[in-house]
């Protein structure tokens, strides 16, 4: 499905948006605006979905990200790795403006989604989060049925779709359908941790996002459930752009196409093909981190 088809089929981004906000949201998502915004580097960055320019983030006086410049490619898995506290989650949360919910957070620089700075005044964060979904470390299904969890976003956003069909398709894409198809009315809280996480992925997929952000999505799961999530991420990248924070370097090496290494002070030290990062990194500090000499 092309971006235009998706945009054109949207009845309204969010029930709370005003007409002006809707227009702004459409422009956030529309291809014409993208081409204009990208300007001269439109060709060279044709497959870039997310791009940051001199992105700095502070929590009060503490700097969490230091001048991040990064281009995240479409339909690939980009892993963010680095020691605890180096800003990986902060970076992830900037992408769909989840940091708006943190009072002390202050953002400088630009973060572009399809060429449009998501921090521009005319961007509706709710519309943005529909296009850029998120899955958290601990599965957080609602205390509702399996069906209602997946249908939740469709209903809240009044999406004019065949809900049964979207629920089924989303559960299939999340590799959960075969396990739950005969018990869609069962409480989501009765599922195992791994199933709950795949349900949360189905819930994120249902509203038709382009990007899925994952913050250590398997770190609370057992090895078998982790392996299923890893296989699923691989499949998801055929249709979505996936950005994943992981503290597990083997996992990053297994599942990602690109790896960004953040080190102390919120510095992005190296960003390259995963193979290069793990086999022939440019920076000694990255090699030291990868080989376990610190971190």
Residues that bind ligand ADP (CB under 6 A): 59, 62, 64, 82, 84-90, 102, 104
The beta-strand segments (E) located in 30-161 are: 48-59, 62-73, 77-81, 105-113, 116-117, 132-135
Minimum separation from the CB atom of position 99 to ligand ADP (A): 8
Specify the pairing of strand 105-113 against strand 116-117: antiparallel
Q: Which of 190, 138, 156 is nearest to 12 (CA)?
A: 156
Q: Please give the C-alpha separations between residue 129 and each of 59, 115, 209, 225, 292, in angstroms, as whole numbers.
A: 22, 16, 8, 26, 35
Least Cβ distance, residue 61 to ligand ADP (angstroms): 10
Q: Which is nearer to ligand ADP, 174 or 244 (CB)?
A: 244
Which is closer to ligand ADP, CB of 88 or CB of 203?
88
Please provide residue 10's backbone torsions phi and psi, each rounded to the nearest 5 degrees: -80, 125
For residue 124, with 0-12 CB atoms within 10 Å meaning exposed, 13-18 middle and 19 or more buried, which class applies?
A: buried
Q: Nearest approach, Cβ of 60 to ligand ADP (angstroms)?
A: 7
Residue 59: both structure tokens together: 């929590």
| Beta-carbon-side half-sphere exposure of residue 225 (alpha carbons within 13 Å) | 17
**Which helix (H) or strand (E) segment is 233 a member of?**
helix 223-236
Q: Among residues 64 and 159, whose Cβ is nearest to ligand ADP?
A: 64
Contact between residue 270 and residue 79 where contact means Cβ atoms under 8 Å apart: no
Closest separation in Å from C-beta 262 to ligand ADP: 6
The DSSP H or E segment spanning 21 is helix 19-29
Tokens of 168: 């089924």
Q: At closest approach, how far in Å is the CB of 285 from ligand ADP?
A: 16
Chain position carrying tokens 């396990």 = 179
Identify which of residues 1 and 62 has a Cβ nearer to ligand ADP in the complex.
62
Complex with ligand ADP: residue 12 or 109, whichever CB lies closer: 109
Q: How far is the CB of 161 from ligand ADP (least distance, A)?
A: 35
Is the CB of 63 or the CB of 257 nearer to ligand ADP?
63
- In the bound complex, what is the minimum distance in angstroms from residue 266's beta carbon to ligand ADP? 6
Q: How far is the CB of 154 from ligand ADP (least distance, A)?
A: 30
Angle made by CA atoms 292, 293, 295, in degrees to the nearest 5: 70
| Pairwise CA distance, residues 155 & 157, whole Å | 5
Nearer to ligand ADP, 86 or 175 (CB): 86
Residue 59 or 177: which CB sits closer to ligand ADP?
59
């Amino acid at each position: 499905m092309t971006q235009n088809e998706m945009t054109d089929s949207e009845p309204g981004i969010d029930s709370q948006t005003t007409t002006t906000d809707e227009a702004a949201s459409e422009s956030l998502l529309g291809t014409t605006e993208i081409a204009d915004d990208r300007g001269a580097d439109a060709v060279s960055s044709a497959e870039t979905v997310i791009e940051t320019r001199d992105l700095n983030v502070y929590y009060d006086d503490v700097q969490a990200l230091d001048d991040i410049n990064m281009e995240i490619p479409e339909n690939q898995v980009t892993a963010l790795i680095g020691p605890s506290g180096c800003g990986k989650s902060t970076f992830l949360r900037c992408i769909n403006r989840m940091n708006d919910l943190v009072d002390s957070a202050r953002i400088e620089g630009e973060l572009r989604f399809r060429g449009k700075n998501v921090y521009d005044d005319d961007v509706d964060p709710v519309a943005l989060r529909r296009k850029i979904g998120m899955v958290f470390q601990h599965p957080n299904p609602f205390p509702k049925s399996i069906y209602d969890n997946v249908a939740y976003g469709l209903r809240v956003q009044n999406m004019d779709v065949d809900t049964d069909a979207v629920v089924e398709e989303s559960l299939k894409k999340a590799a959960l359908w075969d396990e739950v198809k005969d018990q869609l009315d069962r409480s989501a809280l009765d599922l195992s941790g791994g199933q709950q996480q795949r349900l949360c992925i189905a819930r994120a997929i249902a509203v038709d996002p382009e990007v899925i952000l994952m913050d250590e999505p398997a770190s609370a799961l057992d090895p078998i459930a982790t392996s299923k999530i890893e296989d699923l991420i691989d499949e998801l990248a055929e249709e979505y752009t996936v950005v994943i924070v992981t503290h597990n370097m083997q996992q990053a090496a297994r599942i990602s196409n690109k790896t960004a290494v953040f080190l102390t002070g919120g510095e992005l030290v190296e960003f390259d093909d995963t193979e290069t990062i793990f086999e022939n990194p440019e920076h000694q500090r990255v090699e030291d981190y990868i080989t376990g000499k610190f971190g």
